[in-house]
């Protein structure tokens, strides 16, 4: 199976007492799937996983596993170590672990390939490589991504290099067979889809979900005019949602829409200012797609 379409890396909503609001999380999961999302991501960066204790992480995963089982939707799970990927065994809803290139170590590209070979060998589920060099400090060239694609058990990459660069163009000009390239930089998802990306892992798709789904469908159908116009509006929305550290603005907008009980984020994140939230709400209104519903 090649992953494709829009995957939403769900936030972790908190209630007024600061606990995980599981009913709101479940409702969000159903809303984005109702709007056409292909699947969900649990415990990705957008979920603030470092601020969740192990019991909270397990409970979040339990909630989203249940939703994906009910909806027969694939689930990606942020998991970066042999212990974390092994713990995903016995959860048939998990389509893959979303696993970071080892951060801070900067082991070199050969070291990254060796790391993923070992991780894939230990994992009961396939792996999607999360390549985000402006966070990890490790660049990967297209030929290295192709070497990763040849590893048994590695089925895709979340490509979040901070821009649409020549390496992305090179990779998509000759994409590896049966290997999903999923965009992870929301602002440039439209041009990446135009080059042939299979879809995206998009925090922005908490909002105007149906619009992002339509964008993927339009590029697949070769309807460049429709895709460009929609892509411009969604890019502006994404830029507004990422005007402060993710997921602070996404949470504030979801709360303003009445979809989560609070806009609370945990330290080290801080709430965005009112002007930033108002700008994102204005951009959302300009997309023209209903929040959490098909267009």
- Which ranges constitute the DSSP H helices of 99-138? 109-122, 133-136
Taking the C-alpha atoms of residue 214 and residue 25, their distance in angstroms, rounded to an integer, is 24
Taking the C-alpha atoms of residue 73 and residue 78, their distance in angstroms, rounded to an integer, is 17
Give yes or no for a cis peptide into 268 (omega within 30° of 0).
yes
Taking the C-alpha atoms of residue 137 and residue 43, their distance in angstroms, rounded to an integer, is 21
Question: Does the annotation mark 130 as catalytic?
Answer: yes
CA 143 to chain centre: 24
What count of Cα atoms within 13 Å lies in the side-chain half-sphere of residue 201? Answer: 32
Give the length of the chain.
295
Q: Exactly one of 7, 134, 158, 251 is catalytic; name it.
A: 158
Q: Exactly one of 7, 130, 134, 251 is catalytic; name it.
A: 130
> Using the 8-state DSSP alphabet, how is residue 93 labeled?
T
DSSP 19-67: SB-HHHHHHHHHHHHHTT-SEEEESSGGG-GGGS-HHHHHHHHHHHHHH
Positions marked catalytic: 130, 158
């Amino acid at each position: 199976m090649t992953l494709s379409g829009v995957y939403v890396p769900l936030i972790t909503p908190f209630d007024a007492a600061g606990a995980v609001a599981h009913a709101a999380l479940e409702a969000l999961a159903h809303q984005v799937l109702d709007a056409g999302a292909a699947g969900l991501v649990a415990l990705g960066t957008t979920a603030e996983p470092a601020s969740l204790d192990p019991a909270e992480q397990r409970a979040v995963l339990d909630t989203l596993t249940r939703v994906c089982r009910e909806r027969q939707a694939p689930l990606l799970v942020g998991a970066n170590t042999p212990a974390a990927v092994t713990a995903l065994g016995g959860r048939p809803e998990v389509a893959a672990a979303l696993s970071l290139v080892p951060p801070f170590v900067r082991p070199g590209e050969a070291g990254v390939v060796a790391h993923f070979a070992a991780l894939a060998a230990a994992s009961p589920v396939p792996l999607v490589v999360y390549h985000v060099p402006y966070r990890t400090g490790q660049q990967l060239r297209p030929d290295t991504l192709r070497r990763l694609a040849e590893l048994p058990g590695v089925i895709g990459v979340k490509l979040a290099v901070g821009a649409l660069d020549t390496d992305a163009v090179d990779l998509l000009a000759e994409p590896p067979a049966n290997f999903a390239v999923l965009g992870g930089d929301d602002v440039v998802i439209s041009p990446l889809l135009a080059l042939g990306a299979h879809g995206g892992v998009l925090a922005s798709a908490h909002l105007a979900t149906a619009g992002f789904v339509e964008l993927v469908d339009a590029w697949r159908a070769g309807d460049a005019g429709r895709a460009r116009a929609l892509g411009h509006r969604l890019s502006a929305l994404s830029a507004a949602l990422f005007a402060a550290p993710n997921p602070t603005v996404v949470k504030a907008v979801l709360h303003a829409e009445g979809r989560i009980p609070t806009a609370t984020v945990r330290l080290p994140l801080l709430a965005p200012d009112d002007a930033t939230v108002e700008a994102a709400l204005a951009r959302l209104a300009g997309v023209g797609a209903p929040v959490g519903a098909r267009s």
